[in-house]
C-alpha cells in the first residue's frame, strides 16, 4: 500500500495480465537455484495486509487551498483500523491553466479518489468542506462553469469505478488537518529530485522541562498552609528561608486566626 501511494505521482498504466504458461514457475525456480547453505526466509512482514477481506469502513478527507503563495491540495486517507495516510501536492500549473478555488477543490477530490482506487478500495466515505464539489458529484447541482466541466466529467468516470461512495459535507473547522496539508503544499517549493519523508505527528503530555530533577518540587503531603500554621504556633521559619520569604510569611500569618 505504501508503494502504491508513492507511485501515484508517475504516469503508470495498468493492463490485464495475460495467460501464463504452466511451466513458468518451474523455469523461474530453475534459474534461481537454492543452495544447501542458503537460509530460506519465509517471513512476510505485511502478511496482515494480504488477509484483508473487506475495504469497508475507510474514510477520505480532501481540501484545497489558494493563497498568495500558490495552490495546494491535501488528502487524508483513514483505514478501518485507524491508520492515516496523508498526501500533499502543490499545483504548479497555474501559469498555464486557469486556477480558481473550485478548481483546486476538484483537484483535491480527484486526488483522493485516485489514491483510494489504486489501493484497491471500492467502498468508503468522502468528507470535504466544498459544498459545490460534493453537490455536483451527486448530481444535485449542475456544472455551469465552463472551466469546471472537464473536471466534473473526469470525476464522474472515477466515481463510476467504485461500488459505494457516501458523501458528507464538513465545516472548515472540522477539516483542519487536510487544510493544513494543502496550505503546506501551497507555501513551499519542492525540487524535483528532493525526497520528503512521511509526516510524523507525535503527542506530548508533559512539558520539555519535566525531567529537570534539580528544579523539581515534590509533594510532601502537607497542606498548603502548613508553613503559616507552623510559624504561628512555634514562631520559627523553615531552613533556607530568605528575608523576603520571612516578610511575606509574616504578612500572610497576620490574616489568619489560630483555631484550637
Q: 158: exposed, middle or buried (C-beta count within 10 Å: 0-12, 13-18, 19+)?
A: middle
Q: Say if residues 177 and 61 touch (Cβ distance below 8 Å).
A: yes
Q: With contact defined as beta carbons under 8 Å apart, do 55 and 77 qualify?
A: no
pLDDT band, residue 218 (cuts 50/70/90):
low
pLDDT at 122: 92
190-199 confidence digits (pLDDT tens) = 777 677 776 7
Q: What is the pLDDT of residues 142-166, one digit of tens each?
A: 999 999 999 999 999 999 999 999 9
This prediction has a pTM of 0.58
Name the residue among 91, 76, 72 with its Cα closest to residue 185: 72
User: Span 78-84, mean pLDDT?
Assistant: 89
- One DSSP character per residue, 73-113 reads EEEEEE-TT--EEEEEEEE--TTTS---HHHHHHHHHHHHH
More confident residue, 208 or 248: 208
Instruction: Tell me the C-alpha distance between 57 and 78, whole Å.
Output: 9
pLDDT in tens, 55-79: 468 999 999 999 988 999 999 999 9
Each domain of the chain, given as residue ranges in start order, spans 58-187, 210-253
Of 116-120, 169-173, 196-200, the poorest mean pLDDT is in 196-200
Q: Is the pLDDT of residue 132 over 80?
A: yes
* Fold entry, domain 58-187: Nucleotidyltransferase; domain 5 (3.30.420)
Q: What is the average pLDDT across 18-38? A: 60
- pLDDT (0 to 100) of residue 51: 41
Amino acid at each position: 500500500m505504501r508503494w502504491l501511494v508513492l507511485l501515484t505521482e508517475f504516469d503508470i498504466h495498468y493492463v490485464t495480465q495475460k495467460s501464463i504458461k504452466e511451466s513458468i514457475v518451474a523455469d523461474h525456480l530453475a534459474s534461481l537455484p537454492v543452495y544447501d547453505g542458503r537460509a530460506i526466509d519465509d517471513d512476510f512482514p505485511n502478511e496482515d495486509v494480504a488477509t484483508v477481506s473487506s475495504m469497508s469502513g475507510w474514510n477520505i478527507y480532501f481540501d484545497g487551498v489558494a493563497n498568495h503563495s500558490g495552490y495546494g491540495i491535501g488528502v487524508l486517507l483513514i483505514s478501518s483500523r485507524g491508520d492515516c495516510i496523508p498526501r500533499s501536492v502543490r499545483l504548479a500549473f497555474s501559469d498555464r491553466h486557469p486556477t480558481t478555488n473550485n478548481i483546486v477543490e476538484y483537484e483535491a477530490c480527484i486526488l483522493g479518489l485516485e489514491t483510494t482506487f489504486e489501493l484497491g478500495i471500492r467502498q468508503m466515505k468522502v468528507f470535504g468542506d466544498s459544498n459545490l464539489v460534493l453537490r455536483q458529484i451527486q448530481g444535485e447541482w449542475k456544472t455551469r462553469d465552463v472551466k469546471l466541466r472537464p473536471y466534473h466529467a473526469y470525476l464522474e468516470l472515477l466515481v463510476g469505478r467504485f461500488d459505494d461512495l457516501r458523501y458528507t459535507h464538513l465545516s472548515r473547522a472540522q477539516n483542519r488537518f487536510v487544510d493544513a496539508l494543502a496550505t503546506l503544499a501551497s507555501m513551499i517549493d519542492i525540487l524535483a529530485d528532493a525526497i520528503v519523508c512521511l509526516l510524523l505527528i507525535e503527542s506530548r503530555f508533559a512539558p520539555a522541562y519535566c525531567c529537570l530533577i534539580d528544579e523539581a518540587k515534590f509533594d510532601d503531603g502537607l497542606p498548603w498552609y502548613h508553613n503559616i500554621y507552623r510559624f504561628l504556633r512555634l514562631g520559627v521559619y523553615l531552613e533556607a528561608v530568605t528575608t523576603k520569604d520571612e516578610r511575606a510569611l509574616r504578612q500572610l500569618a497576620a490574616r489568619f486566626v489560630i483555631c484550637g
